[in-house]
């Protein structure tokens, strides 16, 4: 293995972020520095459907890789662009692999949604698993995992319903976890805004329900996320959810999250509205780590709330995180084993990602130096969960993840979360309420989607008031009236 430092340039600015993501995935073997060896990637058009990616390594003038792409005849502009970008990344990956001697588990594949690409290739009649291994250099184990996930989505994944998903955001938490990069506000710091937020969010949800009903759109799933929605009181939750009183849906999930914010009264509010799924997120079963990462609950709280939630008839998801600070393999193994022993309906295994805005990032914490440990942890969770009857059914990747791995949601048979599948595969419109919520209008036939983001901060969201809802109505007008 060789470590290199490069100064990377490209004539395709529009693809720069994707190239940089691949280069960053190679950290610590590849470091991007202004005074590093100069490497350039350019893309030339040779014919109407033929392009060439050229990589030049100026330290080694003999190295000049030329990768020719023949695009599909009749492919539309969006597809052509994404195929050119993909092939340029393949050329860059091949260069980095040759230069460092290191292969990545996901090869040249970057981006959040590997399964979406897998579904897309399959729909085009391409053998997606073969394409992932042979063309994108994804490891056979990861290609097999992605293929199983797509397979396990059968019965829920669909592209032919006219239903929409409803997302309600409550970006408030009782304390801040050290790895958190969400724009979630600490309850004690925004206490004056909470009541006005609940009032406006109530009107926001009512407006969304009215808009969907007038458009004749049925609701497929409702998801209340955050933050930690259960940071609110039972009365506040009741007020926010009350416009959903007479609404029909296939699935209703609340990401309760922190065990110390959940109690029987709040769970009863959820029951009354027909919520079927909640999360009780341990992240780890090691008390020392919980204290270090800023969670203000005990391991006992996890067990206590889990039992209450199950006795009340909820399906429960539990989130775990691999590579938490100062945890070794044994710590993580204990957490996986403890979660499995409880037998929840869903378990989601995240791999720590250190993103901008988190306390860990500000402290200079580096999670990418022990890729082997990350891989061992994740492999243990895959084997253990599958061995105990859990099926991987959705996945996503994030930037800055330990070992360039992934987050995987597992479920017991028939316990898939519709919302999680829809949001990852981008097959359904999403109507979002609340600060930071992002609505999506999906035009599957045109292979495009449009996004509308609500203001991120509570203050701006409150300031804009009903304007947030007017904008959303305008945004969906074309979609719902077409």
Q: Specify the residue, 104 or 173, whose C-beta has the smaller distance to ligand SF4.
A: 173
Q: Specify the residue, 153 or 279, whose C-beta has the smaller distance to ligand SF4.
A: 279
Residues counted in the chain: 482
Q: How far apart are CB 288 and ligand SF4 at their closest, in Å?
A: 18
Q: Specify the residue, 200 or 321, whose C-beta has the smaller distance to ligand SF4.
A: 321
Strand residue runs (E) in 211-359: 219-226, 251-257, 277-280, 315-322, 346-351
d(Cα 304, Cα 208) in Å, to the nearest integer?
Answer: 35
Q: How far apart are CB 59 and ligand SF4 at their closest, in Å?
A: 42
Write out the residues near ligand SF4 by the rule CB under 6 A.
173, 176-177, 180, 182, 184, 226-228, 257-258
Label residue 323 left, alpha or beta by phi (over 0 means left) and psi (-120 to 50 means alpha).
Answer: left
CB 204 within 8 A of CB 470: no
The pair phi, psi for residue 466, each rounded to 5°, is -65, -20
Helices 264-272 and 234-241, interaxial angle, to 10°? 10
Q: How far apart are CB 156 and ligand SF4 at their closest, in Å?
A: 25
Name the token pair of 58.
């100026």
Q: How far apart are CB 18 and ligand SF4 at their closest, in Å?
A: 27
Q: Specify the residue, 250 or 355, whose C-beta has the smaller distance to ligand SF4.
A: 355
Q: How far apart are CB 255 and ligand SF4 at their closest, in Å?
A: 9
Q: Specify the residue, 176 or 334, whose C-beta has the smaller distance to ligand SF4.
A: 176
Query: What radius of gyration do the chain's Cα atoms show?
Result: 23
Q: How far apart are CB 7 and ligand SF4 at their closest, in Å?
A: 35
Q: Specify the residue, 90 or 194, whose C-beta has the smaller distance to ligand SF4.
A: 194
Q: Specify the residue, 41 or 173, whose C-beta has the smaller distance to ligand SF4.
A: 173
Q: Specify the residue, 75 or 190, whose C-beta has the smaller distance to ligand SF4.
A: 190
d(Cα 41, Cα 437) in Å, to the nearest integer?
Answer: 37
d(Cα 402, Cα 139) in Å, to the nearest integer?
Answer: 17
d(Cα 255, Cα 277) in Å, to the nearest integer?
Answer: 8
| DSSP 8-state assignment for residue 72 | P
d(Cα 63, Cα 244) in Å, to the nearest integer?
Answer: 62
Q: How far apart are CB 181 and ligand SF4 at their closest, in Å?
A: 8
Q: How far apart are CB 227 and ligand SF4 at their closest, in Å?
A: 5
Sheet strand arrangement including 277-280? 391-396, 407-411, 346-351, 315-322, 277-280, 251-257, 219-226, 164-170, 429-433, 438-443, 448-453
Name the token pair of 150.
């797509």
Helices 114-123 and 418-425, interaxial angle, to 10°? 70
CB 43 within 8 A of CB 11: yes
Q: How far apart are CB 257 and ligand SF4 at their closest, in Å?
A: 5
Q: Specify the residue, 142 or 397, whose C-beta has the smaller distance to ligand SF4.
A: 397
In the chain, DSSP finds a helix count (H) and a strand count (E) of: 16, 18
Helices 329-342 and 371-387, interaxial angle, to 10°? 20
Strand residue runs (E) in 35-102: 37-45, 50-57, 64-70
Q: Specify the residue, 67 or 317, whose C-beta has the smaller distance to ligand SF4.
A: 317
Q: Specify the residue, 177 or 232, whose C-beta has the smaller distance to ligand SF4.
A: 177
User: Which residue has 């929840």 as its token pair?
Assistant: 344
Nearest-CB residue for ligand SF4: 180
Q: How far apart are CB 69 and ligand SF4 at their closest, in Å?
A: 41
Q: How far apart are CB 298 and ligand SF4 at their closest, in Å?
A: 16
Q: How far apart are CB 321 and ligand SF4 at their closest, in Å?
A: 9
Q: Specify the residue, 57 or 255, whose C-beta has the smaller distance to ligand SF4.
A: 255
């Amino acid at each position: 293995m060789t470590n290199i430092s490069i100064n990377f340039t490209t004539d395709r600015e529009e693809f720069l972020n994707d190239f940089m993501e691949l280069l960053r995935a190679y950290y610590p073997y590849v470091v991007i520095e202004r005074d590093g060896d100069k490497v350039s990637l350019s893309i030339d058009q040779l014919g109407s459907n033929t392009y060439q990616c050229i990589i030049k390594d100026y330290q080694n003038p003999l190295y000049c890789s030329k990768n020719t792409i023949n695009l599909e005849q009749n492919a539309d502009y969006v597809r052509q662009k994404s195929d050119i970008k993909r092939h340029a990344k393949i050329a860059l990956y091949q260069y980095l692999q040759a230069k460092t001697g290191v292969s990545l588990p996901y090869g040249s594949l970057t981006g959040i949604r590997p399964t979406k690409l897998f579904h897309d290739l399959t729909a085009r009649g391409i053998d997606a698993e073969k394409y992932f291994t042979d063309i994108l250099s994804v490891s056979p184990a990861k290609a097999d995992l992605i293929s199983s996930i797509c397979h396990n989505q059968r019965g829920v994944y669909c592209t032919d319903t006219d239903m929409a998903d409803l997302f309600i955001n409550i970006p408030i938490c009782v304390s801040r976890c050290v790895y958190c990069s969400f724009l979630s506000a600490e309850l004690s710091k925004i206490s004056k805004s909470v009541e006005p937020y609940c009032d406006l969010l109530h009107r926001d949800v009512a407006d969304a329900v009215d808009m969907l009903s007038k458009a004749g759109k049925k609701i497929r799933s409702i998801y209340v996320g955050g933050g930690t929605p259960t940071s609110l009181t039972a009365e506040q939750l009741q007020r926010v959810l009350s416009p959903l009183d007479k609404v029909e849906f296939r699935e209703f999930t609340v990401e309760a999250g922190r065990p110390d914010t959940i109690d029987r009264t709040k769970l009863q509010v959820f029951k009354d509205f027909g919520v079927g799924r909640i999360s009780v997120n341990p992240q780890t079963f090691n008390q020392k780590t919980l204290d270090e990462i800023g969670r203000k609950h005990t391991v006992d709280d996890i067990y206590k709330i889990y039992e209450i939630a199950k006795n009340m008839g909820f399906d429960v998801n539990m989130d775990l995180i691999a590579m938490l600070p100062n945890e070794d393999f044994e710590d993580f193994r204990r957490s996986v084993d403890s979660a499995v022993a409880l037998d929840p309906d869903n378990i989601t295994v995240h791999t720590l990602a250190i993103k901008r805005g988190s306390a860990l990032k500000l402290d200079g914490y580096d999670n990418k130096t022990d890729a082997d440990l990350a891989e061992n942890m994740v492999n243990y969770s895959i084997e253990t969960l599958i061995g105990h009857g859990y099926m991987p059914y959705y996945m996503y990747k994030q930037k800055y993840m330990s070992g360039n791995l992934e987050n995987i949601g597992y479920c017991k048979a028939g316990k898939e979360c519709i919302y999680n599948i829809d949001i990852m595969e981008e097959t359904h419109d999403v109507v979002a309420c609340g600060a930071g919520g992002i609505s999506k209008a999906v035009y599957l036939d045109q292979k495009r989607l449009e996004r509308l983001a609500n203001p991120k901060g509570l203050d701006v969201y409150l300031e804009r008031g009903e304007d947030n809802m007017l904008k959303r109505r305008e945004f969906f007008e074309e979609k719902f009236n077409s």
